[in-house]
Amino acid sequence: MLVDAKKCPECGQVRQMYMFIMRGIKSGECIEECLDCRYDSRKKGRRPKTTKDEQVVFIDGEAYKKCYLCFEYKHTSDYVKEKTRVLGVENRCKVCKRKNHYCREKNVAYYRANKERLDEASRKWKAGNRERYLDTISAKESRRRANANKSVSTLSPDSHFLIRRNFNDVCPLTGSASTHIDHFIPVSWGLGGSDNTNLIPLDRRLNALKGNKNPFIWAEAMLAEGEFEKDAWEALVSRLAKMNDLTLEDYRDFVFMCEPT
């Protein structure tokens, strides 16, 4: 059962709440557009990437490189040397580097001047928001694992918290409140990834038993041992198939296609 949902004003679809970035968990406020629309709008507004051919121009036999921050072509003498980069210099010019360095120094100086107060505020927040803090750390680890396996990673820091909330903070198979966020299609396969449509809260014991096995083959063994009910399994798979805009049969075929041979 869905806890709550919201209609995205951009695409017009009613999406589950984990598809929206929350401004504050306690207040329940969230951004207007869903994650998919937000990603598309950012992608459209992003400046096109500079190819290696566009990075360098030659004027009167002198090489000029395009700074990736100010987007101006500057002589190689206006860059710090870096032999691993194009033309043997960094991708940002000295002026932009100094600006970044100043901002970084300013932030470090502020932290050092207010270290005790900021650390105490951080400790209080972590103590008062333990569950959300641990889910934030877990989401970061999921993104790291997905990136390491070169698969999809679209999680926000609040994604794990919201995924648990949309499953009523219990495992959809056993009803247990002691759960881990599990990749239905194992992240080690390199195709499922750390995406909202591939993550579920799963009982800690079942999660350990599942590992990186094919979820359908694993479920057959668990059903034979009476670990959970067949109706609960079918409801979960149907929900995941719907989230991925696939029929039940197509989703099963997709999972088997993702499995490495």
| Between residues 149 and 215, the one the model is more confident about | 215
pLDDT at position 205 over 50: yes
Please give the average per-residue pLDDT across 196-213, as a whole number: 89
**Rounded mean pLDDT of the chain?**
82
Report how far apart, in Å, the C-alpha atoms of 47 and of each of 44, 50, 68, 70, 137 are. 8, 9, 10, 12, 31
Q: How confident is the model at residue 59 (pLDDT cuts 50, 70, 90)?
A: confident
pLDDT recorded at residue 21? 62
- For the ranges 47-51, 56-60, 140-144, the lowest mean pLDDT is seen at 47-51
Q: How far apart are CA 48 and CA 50, in angstroms?
A: 6
pLDDT at site 105: 86
Residue 80: the pLDDT is 92
Q: Can you give the chain as a three-state secondary structure string?
A: CCCCEEECCCCCCEEEHHHCCEEECCCCEECCCCHHHHHHHHHHHCCCCCCHHHHEEEECCEEEEECCCCCCEEEHHHEEECCCCHHHEEEEEHHHHHHHHHHHHHHHHHHHHCHHHHHHHHHHHHHHCHHHHHHHHHHHHHHHHHHHCCCCECCCCCHHHHHHHHCCCCCCCCCCCCEEEEECCCHHHCCCCECHHHEEEEEHHHHHHHCCCCHHHHHHHHHHCCCCCHHHHHHHHHHHHHHCCCCHHHHHHHHHHHCCC
Q: Which CATH class is domain 1-46?
A: alpha beta
Phi/psi of residue 186, each to 5°?
Answer: -50, 135
What pLDDT is attached to residue 27?
45
pLDDT at position 26 is: 45
| Segments of the chain assigned to CATH 3.30.60 | 1-46, 52-101
So what's the pLDDT on residue 119? 92
Q: What is the pLDDT of residue 6?
A: 77
Residues 8 and 35: their CA atoms lie apart, in Å, by 10
pLDDT of 25: 44
Residue 180 near residue 170 (C-beta atoms within 8 A): no
Q: Which residues have C-beta within 8 Å of that of residue 203, sequence separation ≥ 6?
A: 171, 173, 174, 176, 178, 179
- Enter the CATH code of domain 52-101: 3.30.60
Predicted confidence at residue 173, as pLDDT, reads 93
Over residues 2-32, the pLDDT tens digits come to 446 778 888 888 877 667 665 544 445 556 6
Mean pLDDT of 177-189: 88
Q: With pLDDT > 70 as the criterion, what percentage of the chain qualifies?
A: 84
Asked whether the predicted pLDDT for residue 120 surpasses 70, the reply is yes
**What confidence tens digit (pLDDT) does each residue in 65-117 have?**
998 888 889 999 999 998 888 888 998 899 998 888 888 888 889 999 999 99
